[in-house]
A and B are shown apart, each in its own frame.
Chain A
Amino acid sequence: MQINVKIKRYNPEADARPYWAEYKLEARGSDRVLDVINHLKWEVDGTLAFRRSCAHGICGSDAMLINGVNRLACKVLVKDLGERITIEPIRGLPVLKDLIVDMEPFFDAYTAVMPFFINDDPPPPGERYQSAEDRAVFDETTKCILCAACTTSCPVFWTNGRYLGPAAIVNAHRFIFDSRDQGAAERLGVLNQANGLWRCRTAYNCTEACPRDIPITRAIEEVKRALLWRGA
């Protein structure tokens, strides 16, 4: 089928401001959007810049705003979008070139919640035991691939770039609810600050944007309750 692709382009070495470029090309319904932009880069305009690696939704490189929704370009097919496709960089992070944004603020927020296992007891010779039920409590939030689709779909983050954002909270949840971890109080302390958890207005955009189907809003609510009940 013939499709019409509009891409928001910006080359910092040539353009004063971003502009829309339009391309008409042949595609199959089973093509991924990544296949489409790869085709454009390889056959039409080599200067088109975007990140990609695994091409099947696991590395988190290619989050983009596609037809108004944040998704991974490798995980949405042409047939699910129709013949008009609009692609922009994810919002709220500085655009560096075309679809490439500055990920540093995103990773800074992630780092702020201490996204690592904390348990200072000497480990046993074998594994620490954990029941299947305790393991299940934080299963969903272990799926995060740090693609930033959630955080950059959040209207609070758009207006306040210092808000830690849903991805950071998801990764805090992954440890706060891990029965083996001992760092919950410290993390809840970080999340209780001015640009932390309470900025969330339950818009649900994050949950809808997540390519890993993590119930993000629910996870955020669980962390809010933990903060209320356990204190920080």
Chain B
Amino acid sequence: MNRAHKFDVIVVGAGGAGLMAARYAAQHPGVSVAVISKLYPTRSHTGAAQGGVGAALGNVSEDHPEWHAFDTIKGGDYLTDQDVAERFAVEVVEAVYELEHMGLPFNRTPEGKIAQRKFGGHTREFGKSAVERACYAADRTGHMILQTLYQQSIKDRVNFFNEFHVLDMIMEDGACHGVVAYELATGDIHTFHAKATIIATGGNGRMFRVTSNAHALTGDLMSIAYRRGLPIEDPEFYQFHPTGLYKLGVLLTEGARGEGAILRNGDGERFMERYAPTIKDLAPRDMVSRAMYLEIREGRGAGPDKDYIHLDLTHIDAHIVETRLPDITEFSRIYLGVDPIKELVPIQPTAHYAMGGIPTTIDTQVISDGRNTIVPGLYAAGEVACASIHGANRLGTNSLGDLIVFGRRAGIEAAKFAASESFTDLPAGVQDRTRELVDTVRKGKRKERVSHLRRELQDTMQDYASVFRTQEFLSKQVGILRDLQERYRGVGVEDEGHKFNTELLEAIELGFLLDNAEQLVHAALNRQESRGAHSREDFKERDDATWLKHTLIYKDGDGVRIDYKPVTLGKYEPKPRTY
């Protein structure tokens, strides 16, 4: 196979954002597009999203994009850029209709419109009561989005490079000219020369022990960008979803609570009434996860070790549970042996979503500093990116909205850029860094086992840098990460082969994960306030005077450098966040 490729636009990642971007880029006349993914596209983690995509269609009760924008800003604890939230809430309505026009099989209202249900933090009239805004296809909305976009990509004859693992970006003079990738089937290294590169590779939840994230979600491109001198924005804001299956972390959608499910502590009490009197169990995720931790800490957990909470669906009509929530019902039955129709489901918060990521403008152009300096030829969308839409805490359903809104913008913008540019020569030794990375691991001394280091990383991140944080534990974790980075130099692999050497790639992915953890922990230690998902027990209050700003963290030698970027405010004054 030819190992040098040239396309006008390269998309890295084939989940919702990547496929949406590819579709729109390919619609630009004369622009060639290819998608590179380390998985087959339909294996992407967009497929695991369950509950719905929020859009103010107003199909069930009155709703407006303005209300959605406000909820997104308040949900983000005012770290959301308000201009972005306003655009997003309008465009997500168009994008949802567009998905329907591509054939997405949404559930339907009795009149035949797209069905909608309630979700955490989505309200009518700026917080008065919960509103039905989540457009859903049973509890497999992400699966249907992924399938529908993949189907369209077949119709559009998109070029795919499946099971190609991107290991470097080609950067020269502050601009991006493509990527270098390792072909899993052969071990060959390929150069993808592009005028515009779109990064859409998803999250990094595998740095934690209990996570809803797939094994593949190791933050590869967040690390590669960081190694290439680009900043990561707001990595300290990491979302823990309240309802993960106990110990496994498998996601149970917030849509369950949207259909009426209730959280109960070990005493059977509906404790969310005490924390969010108005919308109770449908409070935003950061608040619910904290409330669950506090209940457990105060001795009101459930189970023999009082270390979990119950999700109660037993009062909901069994037919509704079976038809609107079939998958999560099955997960509970298979993995825990618990039938949600008759029994309480043991749950605990599960590491779920990175609000931060590679910083971009509203048009998905990657930026390199707090003055919004654009990196020519580089775009990012979806969970890997940070368009400052989710702020300090993402609202449920807005991840799918993000994929389709910013995936579309990325495709359009990247194609426009590519059409106006010509190819420049690639720098010499374009594959050198990738070869060095691969060879270092391949010839490593095997003094350390990848699985052991990864487990230590996951355990310590869970214990010292998850829902509640303190100076003491974060400082401790900085030291642990330094030690893990050091020991990582001693890893190696048993598999010396070139074909499907998945062991080699797992080792390289661990290196990426360590960088992601470093970004998160340093940014969390630096931010001396509590805001959204970042909850410091030693700085319990939100401090707008000092901290109403985005973090930008850079790699600086063996350490880090932190800078800031202002939050774009608008008509909503930051206020105390109550529900």
Whether the pair A181, B110 counts as a contact (CB closer than 8 A) is no
The 8 Å CB contact of B154, one of A58, A115, A180, is A115
Cβ of B578 within 8 Å of any chain A Cβ, yes or no, is: no
Q: Mark A29-56, 1 if CB is under 8 A from B, else 0.
A: 0101000000001110111011111111
Cβ of B320 within 8 Å of any chain A Cβ, yes or no, is: no
The total of chain B residues at the interface (CB under 8 A) is 59
Whether the pair B214, A54 counts as a contact (CB closer than 8 A) is yes
**From A75, which residue of chain B is reached at the shortest CB distance?**
B334
Whether the pair B108, A135 counts as a contact (CB closer than 8 A) is yes
Whether the pair B108, A132 counts as a contact (CB closer than 8 A) is yes
Bound-state CA distance A117–B102 (Å) is 6
Bound-state CA distance A103–B40 (Å) is 9
Cβ of A209 within 8 Å of any chain B Cβ, yes or no, is: no
Q: Given A128-B100, A146-B42, decide whether A54 and B500 contact each other with a Cβ distance below 8 A.
A: no
Cβ of B101 within 8 Å of any chain A Cβ, yes or no, is: yes
Tell me the smallest distance from the CB of B219 to a CB of chain A, in Å.
Answer: 15
The DSSP consensus for interface residues of chain B is: loop
Q: Which of B136-144, B189-197, B306-314, B431-439 contacts A (4 or more CB under 8 A)?
A: B136-144
Whether the pair A100, B503 counts as a contact (CB closer than 8 A) is no
**From A30, which residue of chain B is reached at the shortest CB distance?**
B335
Whether the pair B215, A55 counts as a contact (CB closer than 8 A) is yes
**From B507, which residue of chain A is reached at the shortest CB distance?**
A46
Whether the pair B152, A116 counts as a contact (CB closer than 8 A) is yes
Bound-state CA distance A107–B97 (Å) is 28
Residues of B within 8 A of A12 (CB): 499
The 8 Å CB contact of B494, one of A46, A60, A77, A117, is A46
Cβ of B155 within 8 Å of any chain A Cβ, yes or no, is: yes
Tell me the smallest distance from the CB of B157 to a CB of chain A, in Å.
Answer: 10
**From B142, which residue of chain A is reached at the shortest CB distance?**
A58
**From A146, which residue of chain B is reached at the shortest CB distance?**
B42
Residues of B within 8 A of A103 (CB): 40
Which residues A199-226 have CB closer than 8 A to chain B?
none
Q: Given A127-B113, A145-B47, decide whether A53 and B39 contact each other with a Cβ distance below 8 A.
A: yes
Residues of A within 8 A of B450 (CB): 42
Bound-state CA distance A157–B543 (Å) is 64
Residues of B within 8 A of A142 (CB): 105, 137, 140, 144, 147
Bound-state CA distance A127–B327 (Å) is 26
Cβ of A6 within 8 Å of any chain B Cβ, yes or no, is: no
Cβ of B502 within 8 Å of any chain A Cβ, yes or no, is: yes
Which residues B33-72 have CB closer than 8 A to chain A?
39-40, 42-45, 47-48, 57
Whether the pair B151, A116 counts as a contact (CB closer than 8 A) is yes
Residues of B within 8 A of A178 (CB): 103, 105
The 8 Å CB contact of B45, one of A53, A98, A119, A131, is A53
Residues of A within 8 A of B449 (CB): 42-43
Residues of B within 8 A of A135 (CB): 105-108
**From A141, which residue of chain B is reached at the shortest CB distance?**
B105
Whether the pair B154, A111 counts as a contact (CB closer than 8 A) is yes
Cβ of B331 within 8 Å of any chain A Cβ, yes or no, is: yes
Whether the pair A49, B502 counts as a contact (CB closer than 8 A) is yes
Q: Mark A50-82, 1 if CB is under 8 A from B, else 0.
A: 111111111111000000000000010100000
Q: Mark B91-125, 1 if CB is under 8 A from A, else 0.
A: 00000010011110111111111100000000000
**From B135, which residue of chain A is reached at the shortest CB distance?**
A127
Q: How large is the interface on A (under 10, 10 to 19, 20 to 34, 35 or more residues)?
A: 35 or more
Residues of A within 8 A of B151 (CB): 115-117
Which residues A117-132 have CB closer than 8 A to chain B?
117, 119, 123, 125-132
Tell me the smallest distance from the CB of B202 to a CB of chain A, in Å.
Answer: 11
Bound-state CA distance A128–B103 (Å) is 9
Which residues B483-537 have CB closer than 8 A to chain A?
493-495, 497-503
Bound-state CA distance A123–B113 (Å) is 14
Cβ of A97 within 8 Å of any chain B Cβ, yes or no, is: yes
Residues of B within 8 A of A4 (CB): none
Bound-state CA distance A188–B330 (Å) is 33
Cβ of A138 within 8 Å of any chain B Cβ, yes or no, is: yes
Tell me the smallest distance from the CB of B71 to a CB of chain A, in Å.
Answer: 22
**From A80, which residue of chain B is reached at the shortest CB distance?**
B334
Bound-state CA distance A115–B48 (Å) is 21
Cβ of A96 within 8 Å of any chain B Cβ, yes or no, is: yes
**From B138, which residue of chain A is reached at the shortest CB distance?**
A139
Cβ of B27 within 8 Å of any chain A Cβ, yes or no, is: no
Q: Mark B435-465, 1 if CB is under 8 A from A, else 0.
A: 0000000000000011100000000000000
Cβ of B426 within 8 Å of any chain A Cβ, yes or no, is: no
Q: Given A56-B48, A56-B335, decide whether A47 and B497 contact each other with a Cβ distance below 8 A.
A: yes
Cβ of A16 within 8 Å of any chain B Cβ, yes or no, is: no
Bound-state CA distance A52–B509 (Å) is 14
**From B163, which residue of chain A is reached at the shortest CB distance?**
A51
**From B247, which residue of chain A is reached at the shortest CB distance?**
A30
Q: Given A46-B494, A59-B47, A126-B97, decide whether A138 and B105 contact each other with a Cβ distance below 8 A.
A: yes
Residues of B within 8 A of A131 (CB): 108, 112
Which residues B207-255 have CB closer than 8 A to chain A?
214-216, 248, 250
Q: Mark A145-166, 1 if CB is under 8 A from B, else 0.
A: 1100000000000000000000
Whether the pair B112, A54 counts as a contact (CB closer than 8 A) is no
Tell me the smallest distance from the CB of B121 to a CB of chain A, in Å.
Answer: 24
Residues of B within 8 A of A143 (CB): 140, 143
Whether the pair B499, A132 counts as a contact (CB closer than 8 A) is no
Bound-state CA distance A111–B157 (Å) is 10
The 8 Å CB contact of B97, one of A43, A47, A75, A125, is A125
A and B contact pairs by CB, cutoff 8 A, 28 listed: A11-B497, A13-B497, A41-B502, A46-B494, A46-B503, A47-B494, A47-B503, A49-B495, A53-B43, A54-B47, A56-B335, A57-B331, A57-B334, A58-B140, A61-B40, A115-B154, A116-B155, A117-B102, A117-B148, A123-B97, A126-B97, A128-B100, A128-B101, A130-B112, A131-B112, A142-B144, A145-B42, A145-B143
A residues contacting B by CB (< 8 A) are: 11-14, 30, 32, 41-43, 45-47, 49-61, 75, 77, 96-98, 100, 103, 107, 111, 114-117, 119, 123, 125-132, 135, 138-139, 142-146, 174-175, 178, 180-181
9 extra interface residue pairs, beta carbon distance < 8 Å, beyond A57-B334, A135-B105 = A13-B499, A49-B501, A53-B39, A96-B500, A103-B40, A127-B101, A131-B108, A142-B144, A178-B105
